[in-house]
């Protein structure tokens, strides 16, 4: 467990720039007179569709990255401690935190380790371990991996409550400058496919109540303001387009 906690220190810190919610930054142990605990390593908050605030374990699967995006602390050329969890380690850590009442769910992202498909496969395996082996019914938000096969991304969608894929910047010109290994068209393609799948799943469940749910809390994305010369209008236009065309939340 000490080895896992050492990885947690690294991979919780590396996850802080992925937006899902606000980090609590609070550490408080149960004194035996109350219910629950609070820990500062990797714990953050988000809100459910009905307005409830829930605590999430927010970590990366790995901070080893094959990409060299200039804005990212996990970029390939950055010299800092690296670590990777196995799917079983994340599942174990999540369940241990859940049993101690530290968390109610998981926010899981990753750098692109070895290849997009390799990383996405490990994310899927993690979710399936939690849902099937450990019968974990808590909230799960997972970040899809850019350039991964859409089959793997959709596979994750049947285990996650929310799924997101970061487009990072509103224009191809900015992506080419700061993340030359990424392409805006390739990032938008799975977002479009997921949006269509959400609609199809909603229609399917009208006829078949036992049909599995597909990312019931919807999909989202993330853009960075200030990293490029893009105008406010570019960000607002891109955001409106994403909301209107892909029904992002």
Task: Give the mean pLDDT of the chain.
Answer: 86
Residues 6+ apart with CB under 8 A from 149: 116, 117, 120
Domain span including residue 58 = 2-246
- Look at residue 21 in the predicted model and tell me its pLDDT: 45
In this predicted model, what pLDDT tens digit does every residue of 72-107 receive, in sequence order?
889 999 998 999 999 999 999 999 989 988 888 899
Quote the number of domains for the chain: 1
Q: At 190, which CATH number?
A: 3.20.20
Can you tell me the distance from the alpha carbon of 205 to that of 8, in angstroms, rounded to the nearest whole number? 38
In this predicted model, what pLDDT tens digit does every residue of 99-129 receive, in sequence order?
988 888 899 999 999 999 999 999 999 999 9
This prediction's pTM: 0.85
Name the pLDDT band for 6 (thresholds 50, 70, 90): confident
pLDDT exceeds 80 at position 35:
no
What does the pLDDT average to over 27-46? 48
Can you tell me the distance from the alpha carbon of 100 to that of 36, in angstroms, rounded to the nearest whole number? 7
- Look at residue 18 in the predicted model and tell me its pLDDT: 67
């Amino acid at each position: 467990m000490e080895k896992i906690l050492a990885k947690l220190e690294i991979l919780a810190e590396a996850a802080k720039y992925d937006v899902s919610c606000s980090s609590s930054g609070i550490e408080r142990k149960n004194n035996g007179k109350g219910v629950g605990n609070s820990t500062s390593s990797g714990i953050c908050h988000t809100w459910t569709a009905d307005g409830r605030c829930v605590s999430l374990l927010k970590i990366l699967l790995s901070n080893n990255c094959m990409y060299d995006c200039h804005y990212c602390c996990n970029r390939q050329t950055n010299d800092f401690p690296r670590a990777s969890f196995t799917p079983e380690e994340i599942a174990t850590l999540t369940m241990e935190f859940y049993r101690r009442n530290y968390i109610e769910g998981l926010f899981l992202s990753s750098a692109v380790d070895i290849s997009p498909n390799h990383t996405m496969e490990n994310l899927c395996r993690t979710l399936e371990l939690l849902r099937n082996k450990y019968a974990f019914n808590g909230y799960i938000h997972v970040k899809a991996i850019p350039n991964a096969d859409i089959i793997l991304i959709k596979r994750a969608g049947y285990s996650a409550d929310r799924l997101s894929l970061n487009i990072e910047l509103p224009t191809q010109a900015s992506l080419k400058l700061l993340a030359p290994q990424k392409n805006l068209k390739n990032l938008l393609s799975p977002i479009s496919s997921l949006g269509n799948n959400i609609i199809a799943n909603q229609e399917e469940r009208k006829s078949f109540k036992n049909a599995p749910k597909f990312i019931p809390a919807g999909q989202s994305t993330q853009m960075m303001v200030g990293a490029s010369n893009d105008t406010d209008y570019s960000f607002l236009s891109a955001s409106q387009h994403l909301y209107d065309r892909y029904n992002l939340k």
